[in-house]
Amino acid sequence: MSYVDEVFDMVVEKNPAQPEFHQAVKEVLDSLRIVIEENEEAYRKDALLERLVTPERQLLFRVPWVDDKGQVHVNNAFRVQFNSAIGPYKGGLRLHPSVNLGIIKFLGFEQIFKNSLTGLPIGGGKGGSDFDPKGKSDREVMAFCQSFMTELNKYIGADTDVPAGDIGTGAREIGYMFGQYKRIRGVYEGVLTGKGLSYGGSLARTEATGYGLLYLTEEMLKCNGHDIAGKTVAVSGSGNVAIYATQKAQQLGAKVVTVSDSTGWIYDPEGIDVALLKEVKEVKRARLTEYAANRPSAEYHEGKGVWTVKVDIALPCATQNELHLEDAKALVANGVIAVAEGANMPTTLEATEYLLENGVLFAPGKAANAGGVATSALEMSQNSERLSWTFEEVDSKLKGIMVNIFHNMDDAAKKYGKEGNYVVGANIAGFLKVVDAMTAQGIV
Ligand code: NDP
Ligand code: 2IT
């Protein structure tokens, strides 16, 4: 049996009931086959892949907090410090009822390669909790965040592990967590990114993931003979990534006609009104029905459906496994040119395969959504030098990073005889740097 297959079987056996983690590992290991086989004996002897798929450290803890009625709740919380070969652990905190160890491990594993692709010195980590901020008062969210940080603070720091936002964790939650970290540890340092601008945040971090997604998509289209201007786009989700992806797509001359949330979706043939979307989601924290109620051109549909709309470009920006094989078939039947993942692993393996087989340009999340963490690393740099850069400065660095990521994955795909397969290209390009650093640092 090949080394890759052996390690994959070991992952499934040793990590039961973690299907998302298995899926992420399978995609990466399958892509790496060509590289591993060149050097199989040496890698096997060093247990390189076993070390790559096993987190350096996994923290599991309980978070007790009191609601507004005096009732005590207990949530499960996680921080997986996956790989520190190229820098301090870096990755977001997800607050969503679906969170479990397997989901945090899939996200942490992806983060290793994503962070490597940015070209910046950041290792891979991820954390979160099954706490649901939806429907909670600000005081309840603060109570949770303070209790969460009371435990987490022991394991993080500006030079060791720097968490940030993800699903359910935005500026409000980061603020409460930062305040509690400072209070307990007594140090004012860049231990979290995505901070508010008044206390060490970076301009353009809020926009970065969505903007970065469009910068990479634009470059991918350009290098394949297409212009993004005039294209019709389907976006899923309506959170941080979706909102700023929609905004940048419109700035580049495309028309975004859909957004969604966990209850339904919007079809707006005149193009999504970003100001209204921000008001509904960022200010009122309301549902998309509120958007439809205030926008005569918009249709609201219950359930799922954004991938049934005829578009040129699809940008899944909500969550994992939201674009299935039947969705990929519908997109292809409608003539889609490109799919770029704003979310982490939104496309199932079967759907990805179908899109690639049908000649759709496919940008995997670890490349396409790397603008968020890249700008987090820029926030860390600004905190270290105790300076803040202008919006234009950060935005232009972000654009440079995304264009570079596209070319790195494109070049890697070509070098290994898989031209146009950016899944393979991104995994190989991300892996090579990590492996080089791991090998240089010995058996640790
Ligand atoms: P937000 O919490 O801001 O928004 C999440 C959006 O996705 C909401 O519209 C939410 O709908 C929807 N959603 C979440 N879970 C589900 C679900 N199980 N089914 C259907 N819809 C769902 O998160 P972000 O925009 O920050 O994150 C979106 C994706 O992008 C995630 O995969 C995240 O890991 C990834 N990402 C985020 C980065 C960042 O910088 N924030 C960076 C890189 C990747 P509802 O409100 O109804 O729950
Ligand atoms: O998935 C991701 O890359 C993020 N949620 C952002 C991580 C970060 O550290 O900014």
Q: Is the CB of 232 under 6 A from ligand 1?
A: no
Residue 232 neighbours by CB under 8 Å, 6+ apart: 254, 255, 257, 310, 311, 312, 313
Q: Is the CB of 119 under 6 A from ligand 1?
A: no
Half-sphere exposure of residue 346, counting CA atoms within 13 Å on the CB side? 27
Average pLDDT of every residue of the chain: 98
Residue 158 neighbours by CB under 8 Å, 6+ apart: 88, 189, 190, 191, 380, 383, 384
Catalytic residues: 126
Alpha helices in 306-390 (DSSP H): 325-333, 349-357, 365-368, 371-385
Our separate counts of H helices and E strands in the chain read: 17, 12
Q: How far is the CA of 266 from the centre of ligand 1 (A)?
A: 16
Closest CA to 407 of 431, 425, 427: 425
SS3 338: strand
First to last CA, the chain: 26
- The pTM score is 0.98
From CA 272, how far away is CA 266, in angstroms rounded? Answer: 9
For every residue of 169-183, DSSP letters joined together read: B-HHHHHHHHHHHHH
Which of 109, 369, 375, 405 best tests ligand 2's pocket when mutated (most atoms within 8 Å of CB)? 369
Model confidence over 113-157: pLDDT tens digits?
Answer: 999 999 999 999 999 999 999 999 999 999 999 999 999 999 999
From CA 150, how far away is CA 145, in angstroms rounded? Answer: 8
Q: Is the CB of 373 under 6 A from ligand 2?
A: yes
Take atom 37 of ligand 1 and give the residue whose Cα is closest. Answer: 166
Closest CA to 391 of 406, 379, 402: 379
Q: How far is the CA of 51 from the centre of ligand 1 (A)?
A: 30
Q: How far is the CA of 317 from the centre of ligand 1 (A)?
A: 6
Q: Is the CB of 128 under 6 A from ligand 1?
A: no
Enumerate the β-bridge partners of residue 92: 164
From CA 217, how far away is CA 357, in angstroms rounded? Answer: 19
Q: Is the CB of 239 under 6 A from ligand 1?
A: yes
Q: Is the CB of 344 under 6 A from ligand 2?
A: yes
Q: How far is the CA of 315 from the centre of ligand 2 (A)?
A: 17
Q: How far is the CA of 308 from the centre of ligand 1 (A)?
A: 20
From CA 171, how far away is CA 216, in angstroms rounded? Answer: 25
pLDDT the model gives residue 425: 98
| Neighbour-count burial of 4, counting CB atoms closer than 10 A to its CB (0-12 exposed, 13-18 middle, 19+ buried) | buried
When pLDDT is cut at 50, 70 and 90, the band that residue 273 belongs to is very high
Beta strands 232-236; 313-316: pairing state: parallel
From CA 263, how far away is CA 92, in angstroms rounded? Answer: 24
Q: Is the CB of 156 under 6 A from ligand 2?
A: no
Closest CA to 138 of 172, 96, 103: 172
pLDDT the model gives residue 351: 98
Q: Is the CB of 366 under 6 A from ligand 2?
A: no
Which of 106, 110, 315, 319 best tests ligand 1's pocket when mutated (most atoms within 8 Å of CB)? 319
From CA 116, how far away is CA 169, in angstroms rounded? Answer: 23
Please state the atom number of ligand 2 nearest to the C-alpha of residue 94.
5
Q: Is the CB of 91 under 6 A from ligand 1?
A: no
CA distances from 51 to 28, 83, 86, 253 (A): 14, 9, 14, 45
In angstroms, how far is CA 136 from the centroid of its own chain? 24
Model confidence over 300-345: pLDDT tens digits?
Answer: 999 999 999 999 999 999 999 999 999 999 999 999 999 999 999 9
Q: For 392-399, which contacts have Cβ atoms below 8 Å and span 24 or more sequence positions?
A: 394/202, 394/203, 394/204, 394/205, 394/208, 395/204, 395/207, 395/211, 398/204, 398/208, 398/211, 398/212, 398/215, 398/371, 398/374, 399/211, 399/215
Q: How far is the CA of 84 from the centre of ligand 2 (A)?
A: 16
Model confidence over 391-443: pLDDT tens digits?
Answer: 999 999 999 999 999 999 999 999 999 999 999 999 999 999 999 999 999 99
Please state the atom number of ligand 2 nearest to the C-alpha of residue 90.
9
Q: How far is the CA of 326 from the centre of ligand 1 (A)?
A: 22
The pLDDT of 150-173, averaged and rounded, is 98
Q: Is the CB of 92 under 6 A from ligand 2?
A: yes
Take atom 3 of ligand 2 and give the residue whose Cα is closest. Answer: 373
Model confidence over 12-45: pLDDT tens digits?
Answer: 999 999 999 999 999 999 999 999 999 999 999 9
Please state the atom number of ligand 2 nearest to the C-alpha of residue 194.
10
When pLDDT is cut at 50, 70 and 90, the band that residue 210 belongs to is very high
Residue 138 neighbours by CB under 8 Å, 6+ apart: 172
